[in-house]
């Protein structure tokens, strides 16, 4: 037994541990887009085909206007209009007839200059208008989003975080089929 212990000590004394910095085989490319973008870490990836198989009535039909949501027909639900630009995000809650009940924008919420166009400003403003809408008695709403900007997704998320039940999301972005003539090319 004593001989085995001496051999173990001798073997362990001969074992050397070397550590070096890992050598990179290729240079790091700063222009490469990372696999996990910072802004979409919490997003869910939905397979649309499986959703369509589970819910055959996901798209509206002629009978969709009379469906009840919270005891209110779809056509009588209030509408939350979101106008998203690169500089600001404006929320307007209207009743089903189109009469404006609430208006809020990122500038009204206290964001100044370029911060008005961020997704954080849009989400904060959405939470604010959702709480005001709940105070007015609006619980279930339809959402219309118009425009392209950084606050599109976070505005809808903020409405959900504020406590509103969103029944439908409609993209109402204007697409110009006859855009204005481009500027004259700059001479150098």
Mean pLDDT value of segment 108-127? 90
Give a yes or no: residue 128 inside a domain.
yes
Give the CATH number for residue 95. 3.30.420.80
Give a yes or no: residue 137 inside a domain.
yes
Residue 145 near residue 85, CB atoms below 8 Å? no
Give a yes or no: residue 187 inside a domain.
no
Give a yes or no: residue 13 inside a domain.
no
Q: Looking at residue 71, what is its pLDDT?
A: 85
Give a yes or no: residue 7 inside a domain.
no
Other CB atoms within 10 Å distance of the CB of residue 78: 22
Give a yes or no: residue 127 inside a domain.
yes
Mean pLDDT value of segment 23-49? 59
What sign has the CA pseudo-torsion 89, 95, 99, 101?
negative
Please, how many CA atoms are within 13 Å of residue 34, restricted to the half-sphere of its CB?
6
Give a yes or no: residue 176 inside a domain.
no
Residue 115 has pLDDT above 80, yes or no: yes
Give a yes or no: residue 161 inside a domain.
yes
The count of structural domains within the chain is 1
Q: Looking at residue 74, what is its pLDDT?
A: 86
Q: For 42-80, how does the pLDDT look when each residue is reduced to its tens digit (9 = 90+)? A: 566 667 677 666 766 667 777 777 788 888 888 888 999
Q: Which residue range is the domain that position 140 belongs to?
A: 73-171
């Amino acid at each position: 037994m004593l001989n085995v212990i001496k051999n173990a000590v001798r073997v362990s004394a001969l074992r050397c541990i070397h550590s070096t910095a890992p050598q990179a085989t290729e240079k790091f490319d700063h222009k490469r887009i990372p696999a996990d973008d910072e802004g979409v870490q919490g997003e869910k990836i939905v397979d649309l085909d499986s959703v369509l198989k589970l819910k055959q009535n996901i798209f509206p039909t002629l009978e969709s206007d009379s469906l009840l949501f919270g005891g209110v027909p779809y056509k009588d639900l209030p509408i939350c209009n979101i106008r998203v630009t690169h500089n600001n995000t404006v929320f307007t809650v209207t009743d089903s007839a189109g009469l404006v009940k609430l208006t809020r924008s990122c500038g009204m919420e206290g964001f100044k200059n370029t911060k008005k166009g961020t997704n954080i400003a849009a989400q904060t403003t959405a939470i604010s208008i959702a709480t005001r809408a709940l105070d007015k008695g609006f619980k279930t709403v339809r959402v219309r989003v118009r425009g392209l900007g950084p606050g599109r997704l976070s505005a809808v998320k903020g409405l959900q975080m504020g406590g509103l039940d969103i029944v439908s999301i409609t993209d109402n972005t204007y697409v110009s089929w006859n855009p204005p003539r481009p500027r004259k090319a700059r001479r150098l």
